[in-house]
Amino acid sequence: MASSLRLVAGTAHPDLARAVGALLDGEGAHAAVERFPDGELRPAVDVGPGDDVYVLQPTGPPVHDHLVELLLLLDACRRAGAGRLTAVVPYVAYARQDRRTARGEGIGLRVVVDGLVAAGAQRLVVVDPHAPGFEAASSVPVVSLTALGALAGAVVDLARPGVVVAPDLGAVKLAERLAAPERLPVAVVRKTRVSGSRVTADELVGEVAGRRAVIVDDMIATGATIEAAVALLGRHGAAPHPVVAATHGLFVGPALARLSSLDLGRLVVTDTLPPAGPAGALEVCSVAPLLADALGRLHRDEPLGDLDSFG
């Protein structure tokens, strides 16, 4: 076990950093991030030689500011002599660009992960990454935590008969895992993405008539995926007021307004990202206990048990 646990927080999500820090026995480390008039960032950390350092920074909007700040914080910690350096990135930007979908594209996720490793990260901690292949993009170990436990707790009061719905093929694994403990059936939407903010829900596989749906996804960005799934479920006779649960609530642009027009029963996300707007109908369950538990165990070199997505 490296010496003291030090949690270094970037500026992306101070509330989450405070909540995780309060639950950890280790010391927080001060990080000052100066911004120059031209937009450059200059972080400085008070990490000591040999410290077991965890740099916490989700990379939600503004994505590039938060990403570059994370890279610079990692580099600062490495140069300060951190004994072990872990990037804790609850939400990883570019995770959806995990493969090429057309000729001429790059693989954004690979560039981001390589950047984190080049800046000094010896290990990554992420929460419900978009692609199951996330780990394969990394040359350093990835600890992939899941917030499904927190989300499940928030949706267990679902009126039966229920059905858990994956709003696209990528969410099938999440849906199966959410459904399993309650032995709920799973339905899957076949989705086509038309543009960044438009999708079509083309087909539904599974029985939803008369059932109240819990739609589960890794993230909500524009809300297009949820909107299309809700409409398709309605056409297939699902009960009104579906519940929506997602790990990462980006809610870009008018997403919250778009979702509030859907007459949802509940809309539940975690706090891997800062709140995108006023609380309203949005329910937020915290991943701070999950992160604190995981970082404590990693620091003590203990097994993660059911905290990671293999549990």
Distance (Å) of CA 296 to CA 26, 53, 67, 197, 274: 8, 12, 24, 39, 23
Instruction: Tell me the CA distances in angstroms from 105 to 59, 84, 100, 294, one per residue in order.
Output: 22, 34, 6, 35
- Residue of 225, 247, 270, 309 that binds ligand R5P (CB under 6 A): 225
Q: Is residue 223 within the footprint of ligand R5P (CB under 6 A)? A: yes
**Segment contacting ligand R5P (CB under 6 A): 37-45, 53-61, 167-175, 291-299?**
167-175
# chain residues binding ligand R5P, by CB under 6 A: 16
Other Cβ atoms within 10 Å of 44 Cβ, number? 14
CA-to-CA separations, 211 to 146, 182, 186, 237, in angstroms, rounded:
26, 14, 11, 8
Residue 165, SS3? strand
Q: Which of 6, 191, 248, 299 is catalytic?
A: 191
- Check binding of 221 to ligand R5P (CB under 6 A): yes
Judged by CB, which is closer to ligand R5P: 171, or 291?
171
Q: How far is the CB of 21 from ligand R5P (least distance, A)?
A: 30
> Nearest-CA neighbor of 41 among 57, 21, 29?
57
35 DSSP 8-state letter? E
Among 218, 245, 291, 307, binds ligand R5P (CB under 6 A): 218
3-state secondary structure of 44: strand
Query: Which of the ranges 54-62, 141-149, 166-174, 233-241 carries the binding residues for ligand R5P, by CB under 6 A?
Result: 166-174
Does 219 interact with ligand R5P (rule: CB under 6 A)? yes
- By CB under 6 A, is residue 253 in contact with ligand R5P? no
CB of 168 to ligand R5P, least distance (A): 5
Q: Please, are residues 301 and 1 in contact by the beta-carbon 8 Å criterion?
A: yes
Q: Is 173 a catalytic residue?
A: no
Catalytic residue annotation: 191
By the criterion CB under 6 A, which residues form the site for ligand R5P?
96, 130, 167-168, 170-171, 199, 217-225
